[in-house]
Homo-oligomer: A and B are copies of this chain.
């Protein structure tokens, strides 16, 4: 069976002078692309753009039934599917346990990140409550823990500072600042909360717009090296922001612009010398060490003890109790959380007064939150085999931000550390969020006042220890350095620009870098000379296959990238170099041996075959260049053959009238057939030459 197949294979390569040659006497059948397509292919007319649109609409309308519409509306609420397919016996217990564990993590993290946004800690708890409920209804990833997240909290703090600082300075100028200190503090906090909720509303609107425009696919441009570099840099900013809390000093303010971090540290050190609170520092450092060790042990012996220890909550409880009974605040001036409003916030419309200043931060925050959340959701979906839709996720984030903004919440996003716990604690469905919210709601309504003695330094310790994962991404640099230089450059550019400037500038620099890198990647591809490997029909690089056979007067080349405007100049230069045509000048001054002038000599090669298999597309510049090279080579007595052109390339050839401008037998199906055609032509030529010589001789 296989034997026959291969005999036929010979036929194909060898059917030079078969029965069909009568119709096309000059060239062997099937070798040239056009005849190959004519014989085996089918004619498919190129649809115009309008026909394409018509066909698409027709297809859409064909599936447009009531049931279909209803289903697609219901598909926007994944909770329904979850409830429909819910298996109480299998899932309920796991979901409840996971919900409780995540809620327990939410409490300290919520308060800590609330502090990070420079708002009172209770607002972090709100963000751990409302968005989670909405995400449960509209989200698609059961393991993603929506709520407070370090990088986003930092960006909110920056946005608040940039908006509030100027407006406060105006107010301060208008009134004598010393007298109404307490009132002004209250005013400041109210102003901040209003701004933060406006920001949440705007972020939600941006996400909803992206979702309605079905732009969720944009998340793919936020590639892994970019996200890794970005979050690592941001984590260093978050880490820096927590240091003043550990030492219990007032953070240096108003440091903006380039090289923010080093300037911050310089200012910090001068502040530290005078103001350090040793008790608070001791508590903070002990908390960090204990928490780190506890988490490490927990991680290590997880398989044995089979439960996730709520280390952070234990720290918070111990910290609160210690602080309460040793009167840390009154005796040692350690900053504590202080009096907390009790109960859920009432419905309040975001004030919107700074909305125009907040649009740019809102877009940036929306971009960061979607990039981090969606990449996490995709990671879990890969691991567990459920489907996560970017557009549905965007819808969920959008609705949860818009809804929550009416309940005094700042923008929310998925948190890496909580999500990992949520995944590990055995929950399986979206209901985890519901159970978590029930626990958290109870805490917010009834128990918040218990935390008023909690030292702030404990909260800072929780944030710092949670940054471990993000900071350890630093080793991704080495990974990319070893494997891919361009991805390493992307990582470094993003990381360094986040570090030196700021989170938002880093985002934009990173985005631009990733687009530029996609172009650079195609700039200087390998341009290889091919040789026939032994007696097979395969042509491989003669550098890696030195036994590859090169025929005299035939050069076979392959350019390992699509030919287009940005690499066309490189292609041209290298192409001539490889076929020994020197476009460069001879040296101006030379003595001794005369340099050989190849310019007017007989060309080394009579046939050049370009293997176009790497061309995934070709643009107008590329086609023009090929036409120009074809004619230039013809002038020099060299024939150019192309082989293995793919559909996309052939289509561009068609519309650019390539065949009309060159010759019809330029394109061959395989490199091997092009080589055969060239060898035949060379044989014929030498026969003809002999004949001519004979003729000349006979005429003599």
Identify which of residues 605-656 in chain A touch chain B, using a CB-to-CB cut-off of 8 Å. Answer: 613-614, 616-617, 619-621, 628, 646-648, 652, 655-656
Q: Is the CB of B2 within 8 A of A67?
A: no
Chain A positions 86-109 with a Cβ under 8 Å from a chain B Cβ: none
- Contact present for A544 and B41 (CB under 8 Å): yes
Q: Is the CB of A40 within 8 A of B2?
A: no
* Residues 633-692 of A at the B interface (beta carbon under 8 Å): 646-648, 652, 655-656, 669-670, 676
> A13 an interface residue at 8 Å Cβ cutoff?
yes
Minimal beta-carbon separation of A514 from chain B (angstroms): 8
Contacts of A548 in B (CB 8 A): 40
Any B CB within 8 A of the CB of A568 = yes
Query: Which residue from chain B places its CB closest to the CB of A544 in the assembled complex?
Result: B41
B residues near A569, Cβ cutoff 8 Å: 217, 220, 378
A485 to B81, CA, bound (A): 41
Q: Is A547 an interface residue (CB 8 A)?
A: yes
- State A67–B583 Cα separation when bound (angstroms): 21
Q: Which of A4-18 contact B (CB under 8 A)?
A: 4-14
- What range describes how many residues of A lie at the interface? 35 or more
Give residues of chain A (514-537) contacting chain B, Cβ–Cβ below 8 Å.
514-516, 518-519, 521-522, 525-526, 528, 533-537
Given A515-B516, A535-B5, A646-B560, A487:B544 Cβ within 8 A: no
The answer to whether A585 has its CB under 8 Å from any CB of chain B is yes
A484 at the B interface (CB under 8 A): yes
- Are A71 and B40 in contact, with the CB atoms below 8 A? no
Is the beta-carbon distance between A483 and B562 smaller than 8 angstroms?
Answer: no
Which residues from chain B contact A589 at a C-beta distance below 8 Å?
67, 70-71, 74
Residue of chain B at shortest CB distance from A481: B49
Could you tell me if A620 and B220 are in contact, using CB atoms closer than 8 angstroms? no
**Cβ-defined contact, B652 with A484, below 8 A:** yes
**Shortest Cβ distance from A633 into chain B, in angstroms?**
13
Q: Bound complex: CA of A26 vs CA of B239, how far in Å? A: 56
Name which residue of chain B comes closest to A524, CB basis.
B217
Asked whether, in the complex, the Cβ of A14 is within 8 Å of the Cβ of B40, the reply is: no
Q: Are B221 and A655 in contact (CB under 8 A)?
A: no
Check A8 against B535 for contact (C-beta < 8 Å): yes
Compute how far the CA of A655 lies from the CA of B584 in the bound complex, rounded to whole angstroms.
38
Kindly provide the distance from the CB of A416 to the nearest chain B CB, expressed in whole angstroms: 19
A616-B585 Cα distance, complex, nearest whole Å? 33
Q: Which residues of B contact A482 (CB under 8 A)?
A: 655
Q: Which residue of B lies closest to A219 (CB)?
A: B569
Q: Which residue of B lies closest to A80 (CB)?
A: B588
Task: Give the Cβ gap from A390 to chain B, nearest Cβ, in Å.
Answer: 8
* Residues on the B chain within 8 Å of A564, using CB: 518
Chain B, residue nearest A561 (CB)? B616
A525 B616 Cβ-Cβ under 8 A: yes
Query: Are B646 and A614 within 8 A (Cβ)?
Result: yes
Residues of chain A from 60 to 78 with CB closer than 8 A to chain B in the complex = 67-68, 70-71, 74-75
Residues of B near A178 (CB, < 8 A) are none
Copies of this protein chain in the complex: 2
Task: Tell me how far the C-beta of A149 lies from the nearest C-beta in chain B, rounded to whole angstroms.
Answer: 23
- Is A223 in contact with chain B by the CB < 8 A criterion? yes
Q: When the two chains form their complex, are residues B2 and A6 in contact, meaning their CB atoms are under 8 A apart?
A: no
A556–chain B nearest beta-carbon distance, Å: 15
Task: Say yes or no for A546: interface residue by CB 8 A criterion.
Answer: yes
* Residues in chain B near residue A3, CB distance under 8 A: 10, 14
CB distance B616 to A535 under 8 Å? no
Q: Are A12 and B562 in touch, CB under 8 angstroms?
A: no
Q: How far is the CB of A19 from chain B (nearest CB, A)?
A: 15
Q: How far is the CA of A68 from the CA of B588 in the complex (A)?
A: 10
Question: Distance in Å from the Cβ of A619 to the closest Cβ of chain B?
Answer: 6
Residues of chain A from 566 to 590 with CB closer than 8 A to chain B in the complex: 566-570, 583-585, 587-590
Minimum Cβ distance to chain B for residue A508 (Å) = 11
- Interface assignment of A188: CB less than 8 Å from any CB of chain B: no
Is A314 part of the binding interface, using a Cβ–Cβ cutoff of 8 Å? no
User: How many Å from the CB of A153 to the closest CB on chain B?
Assistant: 28
Q: Does A54 contact B (CB under 8 A)?
A: no
Is A477 close to B, CB under 8 A?
no
Interface hub of A84, A620, A655 (most chain B Cβ within 10 A): A620
Give the residue among A6, A387, A479 with the most B Cβ atoms within 10 A.
A6
CB distance from A93 to the nearest CB of B (A): 25
Choice from B7, B71, B223, B562 contacting A565 with Cβ under 8 Å: B223
Contact of A12 with B535 at beta-carbon distance under 8 Å, contacts A544-B44, A589-B70 already known:
yes
- Chain B residues with Cβ below 8 Å from A70 are 589
Contact A220 B568 (CB under 8 A): yes
Contact A538 B41, beta carbon cutoff 8 Å: no
Residues of B within 8 A of A546 (CB): 42
Say how far A441's CB is from chain B's closest CB, in angstroms: 29
Q: A8-B536, A9-B537 are in contact. Are A224 and B547 (CB under 8 A)?
A: no
Is the CB–CB distance between A656 and B483 below 8 Å?
A: yes
Q: Is A446 an interface residue (CB 8 A)?
A: no
Q: Quick check: is A501 within 8 A (CB to CB) of the other chain?
A: no
Q: Are A562 and B616 in contact (CB under 8 A)?
A: yes
Give chain B residues whose Cβ lies under 8 Å from the Cβ of A286.
Answer: none
Q: A70 to B588: give the CA distance in the assembly, Å.
A: 9
Indicate whether A56 reaches chain B with its CB closer than 8 angstroms.
no
**Closest CB in chain B relative to A299 CB, distance in Å:** 24
Chain B: minimal CB distance from A56 (Å)? 14
Q: Which of B5, B44, B483, B566 contacts A518 (CB 8 A)?
A: B566
Smallest Cβ-Cβ distance to A623: which chain B residue: B483
Contacts of A512 in B (CB 8 A): 512, 515
With A224-B565, A382-B628, A526-B648 in contact, is A484–B41 under 8 Å at CB?
no
The complex places the Cα of A18 from the Cα of B532 at a distance, in Å, of 22
In the assembled complex, the Cα of A3 lies from the Cα of B560 at a distance in Å of: 31
Q: What are 28 contact pairs spanning A and B, CB under 8 A? A: A8-B534, A8-B536, A9-B9, A9-B10, A10-B10, A11-B535, A12-B535, A40-B534, A41-B544, A42-B546, A67-B587, A68-B587, A74-B589, A80-B588, A217-B569, A387-B583, A482-B655, A483-B620, A483-B652, A484-B619, A515-B515, A515-B518, A518-B522, A518-B566, A525-B616, A528-B647, A538-B670, A614-B614
Tell me the A residues contacting B by CB distance below 8 Å.
2-14, 37, 40-42, 44, 49, 67-68, 70-71, 74-75, 80-81, 84, 217, 220-221, 223-225, 378, 382, 387, 479-480, 482-487, 512, 514-516, 518-519, 521-522, 525-526, 528, 533-538, 540-541, 543-548, 560-562, 564-570, 583-585, 587-591, 613-614, 616-617, 619-621, 628, 646-648, 652, 655-656, 669-670, 676
